[in-house]
Structure 1
């Protein structure tokens, strides 16, 4: 047996590729190329014929043109995404039709080819598609996964599954500590590039005068101290994924050079007169609003559109309070195994009232501190030391109230006002407060609101 796209096939049985294009020359070219790769192509020229073929047979890959006589390729992309989720689909677009390519990627396509079709690019795409892992596979290590069953985290995991099947650049937005790098790693691990390197780079931690040599490498003698050739981040990530964290911190001059490297898929080492090809997938992230950075002129608009092909938003912890308990369990399990301390109901209540400006990373720090300070095998609310000064530096104006009482009063007041405005409709009140119904129900139970 052999494994093709997560599906076991008897040896000798060739993988089948559906090719949809109304130009006979293109169909013949792709057919011959696939045949030389040991694959079987079924070529059709319309959306209707493609639908009939998909209903009659099972394919391991689909390549479809965007413009067809009876519709467009997006119809085929959506059909496959909805009815044949295990079949990767790539689109063929006219040269320069970036909008079509982006629309297809967002509809579920994992990659695209520009006309005229380059055979090397076609072969690379096909090889990449047919070794994609089974996206339904379960990660056996929960600590390497995004923890939580809130609706927002379910959406994040579903989005990661889709992004893993693509080669398109991804922009991950979210606050510090919300899990942006973990999401990037999961996209890489579930992608066709999983055998390659995942290279994370904190763009804000590199001195400006060293950025070019760190990203692109340098030749011996390029500057004082360059006593040998050295590869940069792009060469290290070739064949894999380059994760640019805090990409908004890049200076404008480096943004220009990064844009060229992404466009040309070639880099030039410092001190070299020639360029060398690199094959990397770019995933970037920042806690800032990148669109606002563009508007302010601190981030190039052309680079923004290159990086933000598809956006993945990581929700802050305060928007998924129902995930606190499983997160606490996972963190304590990692720190102590089965013999770790347990939190009291009061401690969980205190965590549920805290806004977590540092998100999951801050929760980890709070629990590590609490386990060091607690007197026994139980962590009380007082052991968490959630002091007012930790509340994002804001003045709470709570008088003699405890922190728990003050936050509980504010939350209760906001919920009761929302319920009053919606005549007791909890779904409408949740919408008004900007939280999910499940989170609303959790808060009502915790605060004892009937």
Structure 2
């Protein structure tokens, strides 16, 4: 088997020699270039498997080389060697299309990790954004463009910030970026930043040692350690308090974390993806989100369109969701009546694809036939423009209120069904008849309310 080749571009002979020795010990061959022009000539003659380039070159800079390679040889990853602490340079390189960066003085363990990750890129199966069971369903222009972005971003280690309304599928996008890249066989750890109590945040992110605070009865691994070698996805990152934002920024920049109660820091190797339904730039202007952290996590920014912006994908989404719902229940997928599809087309979908799935789950339970009708959908009425209040509550307020209502209604429903089951001596057919609903609807509600046992 032919050894893989790495092109080293640096005008310092000592650096080139150090890198060549390290790569040789990894079983790799290396080529050297001292200038931008020499690098272009070597690229044309050999087309290596990876390029490592310094930022400062006698006849240009490394950014020029990154852009050249991305344009002429997009299948070849290129990593930037930057000066210590030069965050701006590193971010510029990532924005230009660099796979990753490493700072001087070069840590050999970090170098080996970077090289191995980059060389795995072309060994990763071309699964694309349908990787595994996850899919980005639809063929609307914005979804097609999003798929192309995912394929490109999967070949990079740049931090990506994913914007979009609640329910559009931001985590699906994050998982596809992870699953289509060289970290696919490593952990994907997702955390909702707004769901962690403030007093536990540092412990959750960085871990803690036994006895470090009251209740710490054992050592605990943090999210960074759990995601080692893989991807850490920070959902609703705008909900982090400012005090935690400072600590997160340091962990990202230094690639180290210190567990609560520990005296030494631990090195980490994670790719950071983040998401929020809020306008992060507006949060920065309001003073609620640190500008330096925004600059660090928002290296690449992508937008996931709302369902309202891709209604041409509705039939395909409905078909896929009905198949998934029926598959989890072991049944045959129902179909949607033409009038029901038209009703969905006219609905405003504040909860996007997540809401569509909930609507279809409920409709499957209520439908007496294999075809779902408009009545089965139970769509809420869309308020007319003149009926809307002058100030609508924020998304978080609405979701919180809706969640409280949902819990209350589920509790009432659980009590009613439990009473009917007892009256019918747990005969489900008799219970359905007593409640005036179909057996399928009862079975769905028992499963949803965890009353099956």
TM-score by length of 1: 0.79
Deviations 1:162-209 (A, max 9, x none): 222222222111111111111111122222222221111111111112
Specify the SS of the correspondent of 1:19.
strand
Partner of 2:75: 86
1:67 Cα shift? 3.2
1:292 aligns with 2:285: no
Q: 1:71 is matched with which residue: 45, 50, 60? A: 60
1:365 aligns with 2:358: yes
Partner of 1:6: none
Alpha-carbon distance in structure 2 between the residues aligned to 1:142 and 1:188:
11
Deviations 1:400-429 (A, max 9, x none): xxxxxxxxxxxxxxxxxxxxxxxxxxxxxx
CA spacing shift, 1:268–1:329, aligned 2, 3 Å: same
- Unaligned residue ranges in structure 1 (runs of 5+): 1-10, 398-450
Deviations 1:114-149 (A, max 9, x none): 234333322221111112244733466674021111
Q: 2:87 is matched with which residue: 93, 98, 106? A: 98
Partner of 2:12: 23
Specify the SS of the correspondent of 1:339.
coil
Partner of 1:164: 154
1:230 Cα shift? 1.5
8 Å Cα contact 1:135-1:161 kept in structure 2:
no
Alpha-carbon distance in structure 2 between the residues aligned to 1:103 and 1:261:
20
Specify the SS of the correspondent of 2:201.
helix
Alpha-carbon distance in structure 1 between the residues aligned to 2:384 and 2:205:
35
Alpha-carbon distance in structure 2 between the residues aligned to 1:188 and 1:160:
9
Alpha-carbon distance in structure 1 between the residues aligned to 2:362 and 2:91:
46
1:24 Cα shift? 2.8
- Unaligned residue ranges in structure 2 (runs of 5+): 390-453
Partner of 2:416: none
Partner of 1:432: none
Alpha-carbon distance in structure 2 between the residues aligned to 1:124 and 1:142:
25
1:270 Cα shift? 2.1
Partner of 1:312: 302
1:86 Cα shift? 2.1
Q: 2:30 is matched with which residue: 41, 60, 65? A: 41
Superposed, which structure 2 residues align to 1:276-425 within 5 Å?
276-337=266-327, 339-388=332-381, 395=387
1:62 Cα shift? 1.2
1:111 Cα shift? 0.5
Partner of 2:413: none
Alpha-carbon distance in structure 2 between the residues aligned to 1:110 and 1:102:
11
1:393 Cα shift? 10
1:148 aligns with 2:138: yes
Alpha-carbon distance in structure 2 between the residues aligned to 1:199 and 1:296:
29
1:93 Cα shift? 2.7
1:128 aligns with 2:117: yes
CA spacing shift, 1:325–1:395, aligned 2, 3 Å: same
CA spacing shift, 1:28–1:244, aligned 2, 3 Å: same
Partner of 2:443: none
Q: 1:193 is matched with which residue: 167, 180, 183? A: 183
8 Å Cα contact 1:110-1:163 kept in structure 2:
no
1:109 aligns with 2:90: no
1:257 aligns with 2:250: no
Alpha-carbon distance in structure 2 between the residues aligned to 1:259 and 1:330:
40
Partner of 1:60: 49
1:101 Cα shift? 2.5
Partner of 1:435: none
Specify the SS of the correspondent of 1:131.
helix
Alpha-carbon distance in structure 1 between the residues aligned to 2:246 and 2:97:
30
CA spacing shift, 1:142–1:228, aligned 2, 3 Å: closer
8 Å Cα contact 1:143-1:330 kept in structure 2:
no
1:359 Cα shift? 0.9
1:119 aligns with 2:108: yes
1:357 Cα shift? 1.1
8 Å Cα contact 1:16-1:39 kept in structure 2:
yes
Greater shift in the superposed pair: 21-30 or 173-182: 21-30
Aligned residues: 385
1:65 Cα shift? 2.5
Specify the SS of the correspondent of 2:387.
coil
Pairwise CA RMSD of aligned residues? Answer: 2.4
Alpha-carbon distance in structure 2 between the residues aligned to 1:275 and 1:53:
40
Specify the SS of the correspondent of 2:30.
strand
8 Å Cα contact 2:130-2:176 kept in structure 1:
no
8 Å Cα contact 2:127-2:180 kept in structure 1:
no
Alpha-carbon distance in structure 2 between the residues aligned to 1:141 and 1:200:
18
1:216 aligns with 2:206: yes
Alpha-carbon distance in structure 1 between the residues aligned to 2:83 and 2:304:
34
